[in-house]
Structure 1
Amino acid sequence: MGSSSVLAVSHPSLHFVSSNLLVSAKLSYPLNTFQLKTSKTPTLSSSSSLPSSCLSVLHKSLPLAASVVILLSSYPAKAGFLSGFSGIESVPGPELPQIDFLSRFNEQNQKKYAENDARFRDTPLLKKLLEKSKLNKEKNRQDIQDKYCIRGAEWGVGDCSAEAMSPEEKDNFISMLKQKAGMKND
């Protein structure tokens, strides 16, 4: 009977060697291809052959060997040529020449815009619109709260839940909430 041995060689490749069968698995890094080769090795005598149980174990361990090769040979991917380059937007642009006429014109415009903004903020129209906006915000918040309270009462969840009430009390409570919210009763 021939003996079989298993030998693991370096991490990019694994070899299983027996007395008459060589199985080699290699991962090629640049191409990321997986090659699996099986070949017969010369035997010393005709009586040295593998028992069927060893051969079956060897065939069953091939997928495991392939998985180990893939796991051990994984390496991080290269990000590319410009990885780590922060980009063109981080490079400061050239200093533009300052023209006195344009600088004075810009300052005058900024003052004029600031005065117009201050005058507009003090207008009665803007004050009226801001007050109306505050009232609408409060009204909309209350409407949303009422809508969720009605839904909670109907579903039996939340602060407005009507689960502990009798069916008649529950209907009266929901209709009162709808009337308060200004909704139609179904």
Structure 2
Amino acid sequence: MGSSSVSALSLPCSQFSSINLTVREKPSNPHKIFQPKTCKTRLISSAGSFWSSSSARGVVLKSVPLAASVAILLWSSPAKAGFLSGLSGLESIPGPQLPQIDFLNRINEENQKKYAENDERFKSSPLVKQLLEKSKLNKEKNRQQIEDKYCIRGAEWGVGDCSAEGMSPADRENFIAALKQKAGVTD
């Protein structure tokens, strides 16, 4: 009975309609259930039975500061950053339509054609083609060096595709030496 009273006291008055409170009317008739009609009556009847025990009073006195803190946190308004904080900036506003000047448009089109021709000539130059070819070869060489390095490491540790786990110690040493010689690694 005490726990239903505690939950009834902590709820707002509008939520009492869904709670059934059981309060003894008289000690002689313990089976009769009293359900008040108004919120005020329910609060008084549940509070009367609630305040009868001293342990319940201690629980309420300890929970009041907690309830006040929670209420402040839940019902406080957020901080305002300033009067322009919710507005988008000037960059989102389209600028005015500028007048079109014919000779500037012609110059712009001529420049665009020149830039496209220069780009095409640059891409087809023999120097750029030679550098792109070198880059592809270097990429393949670097990939192979990385694979060799990890193969040597896997053989030494006994893991991976290059593992020398089932070999005798002499064969293992020869295998690792051959891998290092192929990769060009010197110890």
TM-score scaled to structure 2, two decimals?
A: 0.58
Q: Aligned pair 1:150/2:152, yes or no?
A: yes
Higher relative contact order (CA 8 A, sep 6+): 1
Structure 2, unpaired ranges of 5+? 14-51
**1:155 & 1:76 partners in 2: Cα distance?**
62
More off after superposition, 111-120 vs 69-78: 69-78
Query: Relative to structure 1, is the Cα distance of residues 50 and 82 closer, same or farther in structure 2, using a 3 angstrom cutoff?
Result: same
Structure 1, unpaired ranges of 5+? 12-48
Query: Relative to structure 1, is the Cα distance of residues 166 and 125 closer, same or farther in structure 2, using a 3 angstrom cutoff?
Result: same
Cα deviation, residue 62, structure 1 = 2.5
Structure number with the higher helix fraction is: 2
**1:170 & 1:8 partners in 2: Cα distance?**
77
Q: Aligned pair 1:137/2:144, yes or no?
A: no
Query: Relative to structure 1, is the Cα distance of residues 151 and 76 closer, same or farther in structure 2, using a 3 angstrom cutoff?
Result: farther
Q: Aligned pair 1:169/2:171, yes or no?
A: yes
Q: Which residue in 2 is equivalent to 1:100? A: 102
**1:153 & 1:61 partners in 2: Cα distance?**
72
Cα deviation, residue 140, structure 1 = 1.0
**2:146 & 2:164 partners in 1: Cα distance?**
19
Q: Which amino acid aligns with 1:179?
A: Q
**2:70 & 2:166 partners in 1: Cα distance?**
63
Q: Please, what is the CA RMSD of the aligned residues? A: 3.9
TM-score scaled to structure 1, two decimals?
A: 0.58
Q: How does 1:67-106 map to 2 (within 5 A)?
A: 70=70, 74=74, 78=78, 80=80, 85-106=87-108
Structure number with the higher strand fraction is: 1
Q: Which residue in 1 is equivalent to 2:10? A: 8
Q: Which amino acid aligns with 2:70?
A: I
Cα deviation, residue 110, structure 1 = 1.3
Q: Which amino acid aligns with 1:100?
A: D
More off after superposition, 78-87 vs 110-119: 78-87
Number of matched pairs = 144
Query: Relative to structure 1, is the Cα distance of residues 60 and 156 closer, same or farther in structure 2, using a 3 angstrom cutoff?
Result: farther
Cα deviation, residue 65, structure 1 = 7.6
Query: Relative to structure 1, is the Cα distance of residues 63 and 150 closer, same or farther in structure 2, using a 3 angstrom cutoff?
Result: farther
Q: Which residue in 2 is equivalent to 1:33? A: none
Query: Relative to structure 1, is the Cα distance of residues 162 and 89 closer, same or farther in structure 2, using a 3 angstrom cutoff?
Result: farther
Cα deviation per residue 1:94-135 (whole Å; 9 max; x = unaligned)? 222222222111111111121122222222212111111111
Q: How does 1:22-41 map to 2 (within 5 A)?
A: none
Q: Which amino acid aligns with 1:163?
A: E
Of all paired residues, the percent bearing the same amino acid is 61
